[in-house]
Amino acid sequence: MRAEAVELRRVRLPLAEPFRASWGTQHDRDVLLVRALADGAEGWAECAAMNEPRYSPEWVDGAHALLRAHAGSIESVVGNPMAKAALRDALLDLDLRAAGTSLAAHVGAVRTEVDAGVAVGTADSVAELLDTVARRVDEGYRRVKLKIAPGWDVEPVRAVRERFPDLPLQVDANGAYRVDDAAHLVALDDLDLLLVEQPLPDDDLLGHATLAQVLRTPICLDEAITSVRAAKQAITLGACSVVNLKPGRVGGVEEARRIHDVCVDAAVAVWVGGMLATGIGRAVDLALAALPGCTLPGDLSPTGRWFADDLLTEPVAMVDGRLPVPQSPVDVRDLSDVTTSVELVRLSRGA
Ligand code: NPG
C-alpha cells in the first residue's frame, strides 16, 4: 500500500525507574513515533533513537530532523538505521494491517510466548545490586543481564553468581573495554555466564576475534552488528558466537530477520535486545524473539517495567516469566496527553 504521508509524533514518558548505563542516567524517554497514512489506513512504529547519542550516533532529535527532511527518499539516505527502521517498519505495519497479517506470522514466528529477561544497571554498591537482582528474580524473570564497566565487573558479578548459583546470567559492557583487558576479563570465565556482550568498541571486530581466543565465555555482539554484512564479517572472523538482535540498530525488522537467518545458518545463537521500548516497539521485539533461532532469552520485560503510568498501548504482562507474542497489530491509545509535538510530512516520492 502506498503511503501518502507520515505523521511524526513526539511523546515524552517518565521512566518508572531511572535507566543507568555506562554513559549516564536517564529519567524519561522522549520517543519519536511514526504513523504512516494511506487512504484511511495507518501503520505505526517507534523509533529506537534515544534522547542523547550515547549508545550509538543517532538520537531522537536527529532522527526526527532526518525523517522530516528525507522521509520521501529514505532509501537513498546513508546510515541512520534507527530513523530508517522507524519509517520502514511503519510502512510495513501499514501493509500488514491492510492485509490482516500479524507481524509474527510475517517474520515466521514459531512460538506464541517467549522467556522474559531483564537488564540490571550498575549500582552504588554490591549490596544494592544484590537487592535489585533478588527483586527481579522474585518477579519471575528467567534470565538476568548485568551491566559491567571497568571498576564494576568481576567482583559484583561474582557476588551475584554466589547468591544465585543457578540463575541464567550474562553481562554487557557496551564496548567499555579494550583488547588489552583480556587478562582481566578472563576472570569472568569462572562465573558460569551465558555470554559477555559487546566487551570492546563497536568497530573492533579483530579485537573481539582475539578476545574470543582467550575467553571461554561466549562473546555476543550488539553495537557491532549493524547489517547482514557486518554479521557475516563478525561470524567469519570468529568475533562472536552469539548475536543480539535489535531491529532499530539494523534498519528495521526485515534486516533483523535476515541477520537472524545468517546466524541460524552459521549456528550462531540469537536473542533480542531491548532499548526501553514502549508497547509499539515491544511488539516488534516480541515477534522477532519468537523466531526459531532466538534460543536465548531476550532483554524483554513487561511494558510496566519502564513505563508505569504512560503506556501507549495495552500493557504487556509477564506471566510465569514469559511474555505473549502479539498475534495482531497493537492498539495505539489516544496519545494527546503525552504528545509534545506532532507534524505531517507528505511523501512525494517513493516510499
Ligand atoms: O529492557 O529495554 C530494556 C533495556 C535493556 O539495558 C538494556 N538495553 O545496551 O542493550 C543495551 C541497553 C540499551 C538501552 C541500549 C537503551 C541503548 C538504549
Residue 319, CA distances (Å) to 116, 286, 299 in order: 9, 14, 16
Q: Please state the atom number of ligand 1 nearest to the C-alpha of residue 48.
A: 18
Residue given cell 562473546 in the structure block = 219
- pLDDT of 220 reads 98
Determine which helix (DSSP H) or strand (DSSP E) holds 29, and give its type and residue range: strand 24-38
- pLDDT of 21 reads 83
| CA 45 to chain CA mean position, Å | 14
How many Å apart are CA 268 and CA 243, to the nearest integer? 7
Looking at the chain, list the stretches that DSSP marks H as alpha helix, in order from N- to C-terminal side: 60-70, 81-99, 103-107, 126-139, 154-163, 182-185, 205-214, 228-237, 253-265, 279-289
Ligand 1 midpoint to CA 98 (Å): 32
274 lines ligand 1 (CB under 6 A): yes
Q: Which domains does the chain have, with CATH numbers?
A: 5-100+335-346 (3.30.390.10), 106-324 (3.20.20.120)
Beta bridge partners of 30: 12
- pLDDT of 308 reads 78
Residue given cell 568481576 in the structure block = 154
CB 47 within 8 A of CB 59: no
Q: Please state the atom number of ligand 1 nearest to the C-alpha of residue 276.
A: 2
- pLDDT of 351 reads 44
278 lines ligand 1 (CB under 6 A): no
Report if pTM > 0.95. Answer: yes
* Burial classification of residue 156, based on how many CB atoms lie within 10 Å of its CB (0-12 exposed, 13-18 middle, 19 or more buried): buried
Catalytic annotation present for 232: no
* Tens-digit pLDDT profile for residues 215-266: 999 999 999 999 999 999 999 999 999 999 999 999 999 999 999 999 999 9
Catalytic annotation present for 147: yes
- pLDDT of 163 reads 98
Backbone angles phi, psi at 264, to 5 degrees: -60, -45
Q: Please state the atom number of ligand 1 nearest to the C-alpha of residue 305.
A: 1
Which residue minimizes the CA distance to atom 15 of ligand 1?
275
Q: Ligand 1 test: best mutation among 172, 196, 280, 299, most atoms within 8 Å of CB?
A: 299
Average pLDDT by consecutive 10-residue portion of the chain (351 residues)?
A: 96 92 89 96 97 95 98 96 98 97 98 98 96 97 97 98 98 97 98 98 98 98 98 98 98 98 98 96 97 98 83 86 95 93 85 44
CB 97 within 8 A of CB 329: yes
How much is the CA Rg of the chain, to the nearest whole Å? 20
How many Å apart are CA 347 and CA 71, to the nearest integer? 7
| CA 185 to chain CA mean position, Å | 25
Query: Which triple of cell numbers denotes residue 220?
Result: 555476543
CB 159 within 8 A of CB 33: no
Which residue minimizes the CA distance to atom 16 of ligand 1?
275
Angle at 60 (CA atoms; ends 55, 62), nearest 5 degrees = 100
* Tens-digit pLDDT profile for residues 19-61: 988 888 999 999 999 999 999 999 999 999 999 999 999 999 9
3-state DSSP helix/strand/coil % of the chain, to nearest 5? 35, 25, 40
Residue given cell 557491532 in the structure block = 224
Residue 6, CA distances (Å) to 88, 207, 237, 269 in order: 11, 42, 40, 36
Active-site position among 84, 145, 147, 232? 147
- pLDDT of 314 reads 83
- pLDDT of 313 reads 84
- pLDDT of 168 reads 98
CA atoms 245, 68, 278, 331: torsion sign: negative
Ligand 1 midpoint to CA 241 (Å): 20
Ligand 1 midpoint to CA 168 (Å): 18
- pLDDT of 349 reads 52
How many Å apart are CA 323 and CA 304, to the nearest integer? 12
- pLDDT of 350 reads 46
CB 43 within 8 A of CB 97: yes
223 lines ligand 1 (CB under 6 A): no
Nearest alpha-carbon partner for 152 in 183, 173, 131, 178: 173
Residues 6+ apart with CB under 8 A from 36: 3, 5, 6, 42, 43, 44, 45, 87, 90, 91, 93, 94
Active-site position among 84, 145, 232, 246? 246
